[in-house]
A and B are shown apart, each in its own frame.
Chain A
Amino acid sequence: MTAQETKPGIRLDTAEHAVERRPAGELVFDVQDLSVYYGEFRAVREISMSIAQNQITALIGPSGCGKTTMLRCFNRMNDLIETARVEGKILYHGVDLYEKSVDPVEVRRRIGMVFQKPNPFPKSIYDNVAFGPKIAGFKGNMDDLVEQSLQKAALWDEVKSRLKESATGLSGGQQQRLCIARCVAVEPDVILMDEPCSALDPIATGKVEDLMQDIKDEYTIVIVTHNMQQAARVSDMTAFFTAEVNEEQDRRTGVLVEYDKTERIFTNPTDERTENYVTGRFG
């Protein structure tokens, strides 16, 4: 421990020295000492952070630092990997997501996800949006819901004349906005985005970023991004992760280095590692 790392307001990577910097506003997630294992290998360790409602929280850091692993814990997508195991707690509005009685299907209905590569179903545009509400037993007017969702995703005007056509015929950027529309159609509480723009060109990226600003009043958004400018542009809070070399297993374990208001992370970070990363000297 260096003297610099113990200043108040810093996220430390060990639990006993952790200093909470809680975001303002009501909390949606409260992560407490979360470690994720894939078999014997510990992918991230002892993460503690809170995520506030109606904010955009960015997770940044170099490759292999565990930010995607962290994101996929929020809606229990890691359950799909047979060897994955979680220690610690993620409180979602006060309920531990990893409690035995919690059904991951119910979790995912409230906490939606947009993936790195656009992955529309090989169905019509309409059916892509209607899929979620249909399986959730939606009884209202489906046409209206589809229109509203596509409008929220800023895609309605481009596709309204061809709702019955296959979604796979859309451009990459349109497909990703369709995935966002599909996600908001089930009216989730939280939207998790895993590098949603990494497969998109700059214009499409701009559209998705604008869209995030438009919908943040209604949703809480957590976004993983490799693109630091993107984190700086869109997010309210930023968490910087890095990978520390795990001597025994010769693999890298992700740790949370610093978590703060985005502005501070990018202009006046507390930790040297954060500064090196955001200024481009590392990573």
Chain B
Amino acid sequence: MAAIGAPTGAMDLRGDARRRRKETRIRRVFQGAAVFSVIVSVLIVASLLGRALFFLSKVDLSALWIPSRGWYPRRGVFDIPTIVMGTLVVSGIGMLVAAPLGLGAAIYLSEYAKPRVRRILKPILEILAGVPSVVLGFFAITWIIPNVVQTIWPEAGFFNMMGAGIAVGILITPLVASVAEDSLRSVPGALREASYGMGARKRTTTMKIVVPAAVSGIMASLILGLSRAIGETMIVAIAAGASGGSAFKINPLEPGQTMTAAMTALAIGSDQVRGQEGTFESLFFVGLVLFFITLVLNIVSERFVRRVRKKY
């Protein structure tokens, strides 16, 4: 006898057509979800590109690169170096905070912390990573700037790039720590044993063997952190101080304008953005530049991560 319910004729080997159709439908649903992200990326670039090109057609291209003119979109002064410099200052300060803190935490968690300590500290670090950046922005103006920045530099104003940069650094520290820790932990224990077996101490093993072996992952963590710092908007919009426009600033104790904050200032409140032709569209151009900067950084960091994977 045939098995339960199984038909015996050769004709029936084709199986149930309805079930096969259902299988195909479900495959399509999942495929659609995956393709969606690609479509959105393309749409973003496309929507930025159209308006950005419109902006470029309306302004004098040579005027985009005259340093120290400042960024005053409503007056038609679009000086890209001003907002690029603002972004560099804020994210540079952020990296100065996040690189030592994040890498230090990663080395401690991976090499020094006892398993019990790691079980407690790692989730705390992850909670910090989940703090909304608007909260950190307020933390910057209510605590960091009055208690840290103005204590060290009394001449600093209430809004400044230093305070925003420190808050951005705090924001990206968990990201740097987490990616760097993963790469340190992926260094095989056999290498540590080999080093200890040679009579190396813990710090020699960590600094001369483990960290160099994980260097690609550590670089990736820093690049990811930098790309997050460059893209960070809320903290700089709240704490860096420039609303609408800004002069060309290098001194971090003064208020400044970053690329992201420049976009926010243009995007909130449509009555404010009616300036000359192209004022509103400048935000798309800045967005496009920002998009490509972070894209390049993410591709570079992806390369580094892949190099780590290949090695072991």
Contact = CB atoms under 8 A, between A and B. Distances in A.
Contact of A131 (B192, B196, B208, B311): B208
Interface stretch (B158-166, B171-179, B198-206): B198-206
B198 A183 contact: yes
Listed residue (B188, B196, B201, B208) with the most chain A CB atoms within 10 angstroms of its CB: B196
A80 B189 CA distance: 11
Nearest to A117: B190
Contacts of A120: 194
Contacts of B201: 105, 135
Interface of B: 114, 188, 190-201, 204, 208-209, 212-213, 311
Interface of A: 75, 77, 80, 82, 105-110, 112-113, 115, 117, 119-123, 131-132, 135-136, 168, 179, 182-183, 186
Contacts of A131: 195, 198, 200, 208
8 contacts: A77-B196, A105-B199, A105-B200, A107-B199, A119-B191, A121-B195, A135-B201, A168-B311
Contacts of B311: 122, 168
A252 to B, nearest CB: 24
4 residue pairs, one from A and one from B, having the closest CB atoms = A109-B199, A113-B197, A119-B190, A108-B199
A73 B26 CA distance: 58
A130 B201 CA distance: 16
B196 to A, nearest CB: 6
A119 B191 CA distance: 6
A119 B199 contact: no
Contact of B199 (A82, A115, A123, A186): A186
B198 A80 contact: no
A10 B212 CA distance: 50
B196 A186 contact: no
Given A82-B114, A108-B199, A135-B199, A119 B194 contact: yes
Given A122-B311, A123-B212, A77 B197 contact: yes
Contacts of A105: 199-201
A80 B190 contact: no
Contact of B198 (A82, A112, A117): A112
Contact of B194 (A75, A107, A179): A179
Contacts of A115: 190, 193-194, 197
B185 to A, nearest CB: 16
B25 to A, nearest CB: 48
Contact of B193 (A107, A109, A119): A119
A108 B204 CA distance: 14
Given A105-B200, A109-B199, A135-B200, 19 more contacts: A77-B196, A107-B199, A108-B196, A108-B197, A109-B198, A112-B198, A113-B197, A120-B194, A121-B191, A121-B194, A121-B195, A122-B191, A131-B198, A132-B199, A135-B198, A135-B201, A179-B194, A183-B197, A186-B199
Contacts of A168: 311
A112, A117, A122: most-surrounded residue (chain B CB, <10 A):
A122
A123 B198 CA distance: 15
B198 A182 contact: yes
Which of B114, B188, B190 has the most C-beta atoms of chain A within 10 angstroms of its own C-beta?
A: B190
Given A115-B190, A119-B188, A122-B213, A135 B208 contact: yes
B193 A186 contact: no
Contacts of B191: 119, 121-122
A52 to B, nearest CB: 23
A173 to B, nearest CB: 17
Nearest to A114: B197
